[in-house]
Amino acid sequence: MRPLEGVKVLDFSQYMAGPSATLRLADLGARTVKVERPGKGDGCRDLRVPDCEIEGESPLFCAVNRNKDSIALDLKDEKNKGTLRSLLKEADVAVFSFRPGTAERLGLSYEQIKEINPRIIYGEVSGYGSAGPWSSKPGQDLLAQCISGLPYLNGNEGDAPTPLGLSLADMFAGQHLVQGILSALIRRERSGQGAYIQVNLLESILDIQFEVFTTFLNDGHEPPVRSKVNNANAYISAPYGIYETKDGYLALAMCSIVVLGELLGCKELLKYTDESEWSTKRDEIKRILKEHLKKETADYWLSVLETADVWCAKALNWEELFEMEGFKKLGMVQGIYRDGKKVFETTSCPIKFDQERYYSEKPAPFIGQDNKNI
């Protein structure tokens, strides 16, 4: 039995943040029903990837909405109010990502739904919160990344701000929403009390910068200085970064520069015996390493460094990753099936419960496919 079996979730959200939260709840056993617009459905269905469709849908939609049901309801149609009321009365959790004011106009604010179901766990994800001058801004991942300052941590000094190539704000907001919902479910078991959980993209992406923000806030507001050479973290000294080798790339984490010089046979590094110089002369040290590591292959350097317990890794592309035995042993890839036929492959839930990894073969739903059953 999965831990959330018996929990009923209504997912009114779209795109990535809210649906990523309800996907995790579904993987942990909750019955999750998407409530979509008739005909059009979740806007993520139309976020096409060139040359890749799954059952006529966006692979992004299929990945984040697997393991769910779907009902199509026009939320503005008075004829559907009775059905909607019945669904909300039976639900444990409802998740929304409406723009400010929309929920109230539809009769779906927390205060309005609480009148129907006082025990409801109401989860809301927005771009920048429900109040303040930014509340009406579009809640989009790239925009949230840029407002948060995160792109100025990536790339080398002097480079243009560089965003991470993932929907990072969306995904972290989704996971923060899951944490809030699960906490509220635990409290409700003790008190019978429902809850109103709010997260937003900006606060979530600010939260994941807590380490560097703390340095900034307590260091006279000195801005981070990215390394000019192979930057990987503006606040970490040499050799931290990714380096080109004869046939690929090698990542080096924190380690003694002197020990590294001895292991690599790089005499130029042996003079940096003062640890403070690993920070103050970071770029100088990295330039030496950059040229030296090109002399041998990544696998050769790995054989030298891993034997000495130096923290390092080969920078793998996805094709290389998927062929590695260590990756295969994880069991992170699962097949998704419809009517006994494999539709696509995707990742599985990363949480193990009692040493068991949860898989689900259930594909993303067609719009309104479960109207008759719900």
- Kindly list the catalytic residues: 170
Query: What's the DSSP call for residue 5?
Result: T
Contact by Cβ (8 Å): 199, 176: yes
Phi first, then psi, for residue 356 (nearest 5°) are -110, 135
CA nearest neighbour of 35 among 14, 54, 17: 14
Q: Give the DSSP H/E element, type plus range, for residue 70.
A: strand 69-72
Position 87: which residue type? L
Per the CB < 8 A criterion, the answer to whether 301 and 289 are in contact is no
Give the residue carrying structure tokens 């000094």. Answer: 157
Residue 80 and residue 374 in contact, taking contact as beta carbons nearer than 8 Å:
no
Q: Helix 257-264 to helix 298-307 angle, to the nearest 10 degrees?
A: 120
In angstroms, the Cα distances linking 357 to 330, 335, 349 are 9, 14, 7
Alpha carbon distances (Å) from 155 to 163, 182, 225, 245: 9, 37, 11, 19
111: left (phi over 0), alpha (psi -120 to 50) or beta: alpha
Which residues neighbour 351 within 8 Å (Cβ) at sequence distance 6 or greater?
24, 27, 28, 358
How many residues would you count in the chain?
374
